[in-house]
Amino acid sequence: MLARGWRRACPRCGSGRLFRRWFQMTERCPGCGLRFERRPEEAFFLGAFVIAFGVTEGAVLLVLFAFILVEAASGGRSSVVPALGVAAAAAVILPLAFYPFSKTIWCAIDLAMHPLEQDEEREAAAALVGGPVSGG
Ligand SMILES: [Zn+2]
């Protein structure tokens, strides 16, 4: 499931084409009908935000750690400006670039922790054939 998430694919069936645009995810998987935002009342995609935040902070820390190594090797004569520039660029670009991956990865984690209930499976199947989907 996680490998599928890293490929921006559906964690349940592996189907792709889940994004209409880079930032616009389809509501359901076109392959299996899985509804991605499984519990809308709980701010479901907060987990995706946490993943993107963690990846970004990790990258910024790596840049700053690399700067510290360079600084130590050069005897403290290098400028901090290039490192800060790279870290700032990473802090802006990474969340945008990683956004769709963080959503599908979060869907995979959630699906692994909370397997589909029977009514979710029925709803997904009904959505696939375009039939009536009971609310709730
Ligand atoms: Zn699917």
Would you call 45 helix, strand, or coil by DSSP?
coil
Ligand 1 center–CA 28 separation, angstroms? 8
Ligand 1 center–CA 115 separation, angstroms? 13
Ligand 1 center–CA 22 separation, angstroms? 18
Residue 104 CB partners (closer than 8 Å, separation 6+): 4, 5, 6, 7, 8, 9, 10, 11, 18
Task: Report, as an integer, the average pLDDT of 19-40.
Answer: 93
pLDDT tens sequence across 39-70:
877 789 999 999 999 999 999 999 999 999 98
Q: Are the C-beta atoms of residues 133 and 34 closer than 8 Å to each other?
A: no
Ligand 1 center–CA 18 separation, angstroms? 9
- Is 134 a residue whose pLDDT tops 60? no
- Is 136 a residue whose pLDDT tops 50? no
pLDDT tens sequence across 75-116:
888 788 888 999 999 999 999 999 999 999 999 999 999 999
Taking alpha carbons only, the member of 98, 114, 2 closest to residue 51 is 98
Ligand 1 center–CA 86 separation, angstroms? 37
pTM: 0.83
Give me the residue spans of the domains in the chain.
2-128
